[in-house]
Amino acid sequence: HIAVNNLVAEGTSWGIPERLARARVEQLVNELPTALKRATAEIAAPANLVTQLQKRLQRLGSGMTAAPMEESSTT
């Protein structure tokens, strides 16, 4: 809670009323787990796509059949 108090103190030094600063800091702290999950998912999505493309290229390279390209061209 030291960090919360420091942020509240910084807000009040900018002229924000303490009650308002504390409410906003606590709201941000409560939103933090969701924001971290969202950011982690956004970071993981491109990596997962790259992995899927690498696997498909490996299958194509080894002569195994992959999904026909015609399916993806209709989108």
41 DSSP 8-state letter: H
Q: Is residue 73 part of a domain?
A: no
Q: How many domains does the chain have?
A: 1
pLDDT at 68: 57
Q: Is residue 56 part of a domain?
A: yes
In a domain, residue 8? The reply is: yes
Residue 9 lies in a domain: yes
For residues 46 and 63, give the distance between their C-alpha atoms in angstroms, rounded to a whole number: 26
pLDDT per residue of the chain (75 residues) written in tens, 0 to 9: 889 999 999 999 999 999 999 999 999 999 999 999 999 988 888 888 888 899 999 988 887 555 555 544 444
Q: Domain for residue 20, yes or no?
A: yes
Q: Report whether 4 contacts 26 (CB < 8 A).
A: yes
Instruction: List the domain range (segments joined by +) for residue 32.
Output: 2-62
In a domain, 14, yes or no: yes
Is the pTM higher than 0.75? The answer reads no
Confirm whether 19 is domain-assigned.
yes
Instruction: Please give the radius of gyration of the chain, using alpha carbons only, rounded to the nearest integer.
Output: 24
Local structure of residue 27 (DSSP, 8 states): H
Is residue 16 a part of any domain in this protein?
yes
